[in-house]
């Protein structure tokens, strides 16, 4: 049988009792190690579970899935997933492949950032579409995530932004040369995410300036119609290491978030929509500049 077992958000002890029982009796246990990470390493899991755990990177999960599932025809095989098993498309694909192969599939759910984000005080039913913010590089600076945040904002909804993680990535040069040399892991911070959102706002604002472009150019004309709802003064919340003993939150403008170092990963960012007074009162506890926060939220009715 093939099992997907959620690990929760922080450390080895976040696994459920049901999940731990399955892990202890399984033939093989793999740890999916590229869509998210815990605050502890594989060794801590092995010590707590009392058994060996094999790291499964993107290549082994996506390219060697058939081999992994073949073993599950004869034995119980477990794939441990940080957060909840259905927090990434890869895991849904594995379930479909397992079922198509005639395998029984067991799923043990757990907490993920998708529901734990409620700790900042913004109610879960007031969130719109979840958005992923990716790292920019010199040649690739997408803006589609900004448009999705604006769509939520226009409807008064909050937006949970999942920040990019780079695990076992190769440089373009190493990929072209076929060298199995990997870059160090990188985890996007709330500072970088806020900076990218502000940069998009500034870029689009500049395009709208008189004389900035030729209106006869169709591409430039369409650029001027792109939304610019999210600014450096938009309220946001930075969250880091949610579920751990070092969990931290900070609320303020996007510029405040860009100026605030929240420490070690993993980070998440929330763009604030319309607030209920209880949401405001809860969020106020994490205000970076309390007087400024009070001024910006004084319109929220009791």
Confidence of residue 170 (pLDDT cuts 50, 70, 90): low
Contact (Cβ atoms closer than 8 angstroms) between residue 75 and residue 29: no
Least confident segment among 131-145, 151-165, 211-225: 211-225
Determine the Cα–Cα distance for residues 199 and 221; give it in Å rounded to an integer.
Answer: 20
- Regarding beta strands 2-6 and 54-56, do their DSSP bridges make them parallel or antiparallel, or are they unpaired? unpaired
pLDDT at res. 195:
98
- Give the predicted TM-score (pTM) of the model: 0.90
Determine the Cα–Cα distance for residues 135 and 60; give it in Å rounded to an integer.
Answer: 24
H-helix segments, the chain: 17-25, 42-49, 58-62, 65-71, 89-100, 113-116, 144-154, 172-176, 190-208, 218-223, 254-258, 277-284, 290-296
Determine the Cα–Cα distance for residues 287 and 173; give it in Å rounded to an integer.
Answer: 44
Confidence of residue 5 (pLDDT cuts 50, 70, 90): very high
Spatial CB neighbours of 108, under 8 Å, sequence gap ≥ 6: 3, 4, 5, 6, 16, 18, 19, 22, 85
Instruction: Indicate whether 221 pLDDT > 60.
Output: no
Confidence of residue 267 (pLDDT cuts 50, 70, 90): very high
Least confident segment among 175-179, 197-201, 212-216: 212-216
For range 243-252, the mean pLDDT: 96
Q: Which residues pair with 56 in a beta bridge?
A: 32
- Regarding beta strands 77-81 and 2-6, do their DSSP bridges make them parallel or antiparallel, or are they unpaired? parallel
pLDDT at res. 64:
63
pLDDT digit string (tens) for 66-109?
A: 777 888 889 999 999 999 999 877 788 889 988 998 999 999 99
pLDDT at res. 214:
54
pLDDT at res. 217:
54
Instruction: Indicate whether 138 pLDDT > 80.
Output: yes
Instruction: Indicate whether 38 pLDDT > 80.
Output: yes
Q: Which residues pair with 159 in a beta bridge?
A: 271
pLDDT digit string (tens) for 278-302?
A: 999 999 999 999 999 999 999 998 7
């Amino acid at each position: 049988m093939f099992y997907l077992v959620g690990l929760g958000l922080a450390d080895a002890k976040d696994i459920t009792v049901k999940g731990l029982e399955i892990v202890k009796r399984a033939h093989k246990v793999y740890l999916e190690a590229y869509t998210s990470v815990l605050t502890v390493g594989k060794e801590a899991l092995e010590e707590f579970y009392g058994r060996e755990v094999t790291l499964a990177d993107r290549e082994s999960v996506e390219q060697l899935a058939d081999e992994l599932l073949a073993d599950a025809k004869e034995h119980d095989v477990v794939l441990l997933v940080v957060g909840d098993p259905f927090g990434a498309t890869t895991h849904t694909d594995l379930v479909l492949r397992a079922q198509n192969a005639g395998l029984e599939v067991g799923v043990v759910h757990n907490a993920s950032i998708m529901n734990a984000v409620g700790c900042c005080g913004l109610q879960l039913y007031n969130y719109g579409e979840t958005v992923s913010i990716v790292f920019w590089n010199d040649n690739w600076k997408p803006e589609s995530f900004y448009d999705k945040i604006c769509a939520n904002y226009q409807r008064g909804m909050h937006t949970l932004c999942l920040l990019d993680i780079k695990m076992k990535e190769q440089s373009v040069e190493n990929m072209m040369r076929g060298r199995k040399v990997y870059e160090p892991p990188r985890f996007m911070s709330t500072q970088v995410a806020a900076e990218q959102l502000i940069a998009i706002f500034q870029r689009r604002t500049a395009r709208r300036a008189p004389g900035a472009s030729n209106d006869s150019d169709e591409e430039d004309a369409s650029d001027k119609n792109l939304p610019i709802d999210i600014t450096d003064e938009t309220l946001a919340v930075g969250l880091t290491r949610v579920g751990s003993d070092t969990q931290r939150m900070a609320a303020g403008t996007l510029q405040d978030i860009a100026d605030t170092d929240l420490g070690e990963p993993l980070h998440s960012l929330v763009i604030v929509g319309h607030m209920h007074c209880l949401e405001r009162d809860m969020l106020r506890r994490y205000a970076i500049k309390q007087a400024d926060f009070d001024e910006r939220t004084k319109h929220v009715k009791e």
